[in-house]
Amino acid sequence: MSDIIYGFHSIKAFLEHHPERFLEIFILQNNDSYRLQSLVKELKSAGLSILFTSRQYLDAQTGGGVHQGIMAKVCSAHQYQENELPALLNSLDTPFVLVLDGITDPHNLGACLRSAEASGVQIVILPRDRSAPLNATVKKAASGAAENIPVIRVTNLARTLRVLKEYHLLIIGTAGEAKKTVYEARMTGSMALVMGSEEKGLRRLTREHCDHLIRIPMLGRVSSLNVSVATGVCLFEAVRQRNMKKI
């Protein structure tokens, strides 16, 4: 099976980490931008061949996405299955998991995956329903992160949270009305951070399976942050706490 990726950051990240998985690379013909030509030079230096094509073809293949004049067909990554979660957890000393409960906007999902990879998250869990598919738009927004981190879709998120508890993970959910802020929570051990949907936040059953609820303190007139921004804030507070002993 193959996937489509597009855009400078996605192609460059894929070249750095998975060059062997390129199948075909398409470049917009008659495009002499320095940025594009510089990337083409890197691709050719890696022994990869380039095909030149029209803007209409790129637009059609990427669904009208902002492809920046470059697109590639690549071998699909391993698709992690729900039954692989226990083995993944067993392989980790101190699991750091991100659970995204119903992120339906592909740009938000991609940005969350990018923050997850950058912060050292080892597993991302998504519900099978009520979640954006891992399509080319998500992968472009993730800038290569979607290829570097196990993403598992699960049928029943509440049941999966119970599995995480069986493996001694602390489940920390986010909610605007929580009494404790993200800066007051302990986020140093085995844990799963659970982020809710863009509009409604955590679902009731998801919330009930959290050990603690936290919030990001808001000091201005805006009452909430975009979910991808909020995810980054919470993840990197966890990074700060988890790395204090190493500083």
Share of the chain above pLDDT 70, in %: 98
216 belongs to an annotated ligand binding site: yes
Confidence check: pLDDT of 198 > 80: no
Q: Which tens digits make up the pLDDT trace of 39-75?
A: 989 999 999 999 999 999 999 998 888 899 999 999 8
70-75 and 151-154 beta bridge pairing: unpaired
Instruction: Look over the chain and give the mean of its residue pLDDT values, rounded to a whole number.
Output: 91
Report the top-level CATH class of 82-246: alpha beta
* Fold annotation for 2-75: 60s Ribosomal Protein L30; Chain: A; (3.30.1330)
What is the per-residue pLDDT for 31? Answer: 83
CB atoms within 10 A of CB 184: 12
**Per-domain boundaries in the chain:** 2-75, 82-246
Instruction: Write down the pTM of the prediction.
Output: 0.83
CA distances from 144 to 17, 78, 79, 115 (A): 9, 15, 16, 11
Would the annotation count 5 as a binding residue? no
Given a cut of 70, is residue 30 above it in pLDDT? Answer: yes
Does 144 count as an annotated binding residue? no
Q: Which amino acid is at 148?
A: N
**pLDDT for residue 246:** 56
Instruction: Name the token pair of 17.
Output: 């980490």
- Give the pLDDT confidence of 113-147 residue by residue, as tens digits: 999 999 999 999 999 988 998 888 888 888 777 88
